[in-house]
Amino acid sequence: MEGFKIVFFNKVVNNCIMIMTILAFAYVIVSMIIVFPLGIIAMILYFFGLRKQTKHFIYLLGKGWGLLVIKITGCKVTVTGSENIPKKGGVCFVANHTGYFDIVLMLAYCGRPIGFVAKKELIFVPILNCWIFMVGGLFIDRKDIRKALRTINKGVERIKAGGGMLIFPEGHRSKGQGLLPFHPGSLKLATMAEAPIVPVAVEGSYDVFERNLRVNSVHLKVTFCEPIDTASLPVADRKLVLSDRIYSIIKEKLEA
């Protein structure tokens, strides 16, 4: 009898998790389709000169969307170091990339409009490509140096204009393997703009869905570290020395 109760309880739990997974994916897909027209209208207004208002509207849209996704998954999020995020001026967030949920967390908690660099393959994914473009994403072709440099220059211009950009220097998701080595030159976006860098340590996002392909209500942590002033760094230190410094900061937070 006791064994039957355990089996029955496990089945109920698994069914609840499956329902949560279906609801979460349904929300993500439906909400992206519903909100998409609003994004198109916002982009049109942007090109007609209402840039400040449009950026703020899209930021609120992305933040609200991200917070609701987190709520639906049942995840608990602990955010520390929000006071380290500059309220004004150009800034570059440099974060570890554990899973797809990293973007959701950054949209929800970065506290200001941001764009990010995405791999060019995502430009062929319907609706998602428009969302990435709408929130300020840039598509980069790492195999073509000239095209990649043009993309980086666009990001530099945005930062110099007072915007925020997010980069993942590991180049791809670590998928629970821990912090991976940073790609050479991955910090060019920040150093070329001479913008402050805010290192960000993200924990747990891979476990939300990707670990076992179903939604799990896990505890997530996002830590915004003290900003690093790149403008005052010697030119010789803006590559390896800076990269090693940020790597050490993020690794220390993750291990803590």
CA atoms of 203 and 99, how far apart (whole Å): 10
E-strand stretches of the chain: 76-80, 91-95, 115-119, 138-140, 164-167, 197-203, 219-224
Across residues 70-90, what is the average pLDDT?
93
Q: According to the model, what pLDDT value does residue 227 have?
A: 96
Across residues 10-39, what is the average pLDDT?
63
CA atoms of 175 and 152, how far apart (whole Å): 26
Q: What is the pLDDT of residues 154-164, one digit of tens each?
A: 999 999 989 99
Q: According to the model, what pLDDT value does residue 91 have?
A: 95
Sheet (strand 91-95) strand order: 76-80, 219-224, 197-203, 91-95, 164-167, 115-119, 138-140
Per-residue pLDDT for 9 more than 50?
no
Per-residue pLDDT for 102 more than 90?
yes
* Cβ partners under 8 Å of residue 56, min gap 6: 113
CA atoms of 168 and 118, how far apart (whole Å): 9
Enter the pTM of the model.
0.84
Residue ranges of domains in the chain, CATH in brackets: 2-255 (3.40.1130.10)
Q: What is the pLDDT of residues 166-222, one digit of tens each?
A: 999 998 889 888 899 998 778 888 899 999 999 999 999 999 988 888 888 899 999
Q: What is the pLDDT of residues 27-53, one digit of tens each?
A: 666 666 666 676 667 667 767 767 677
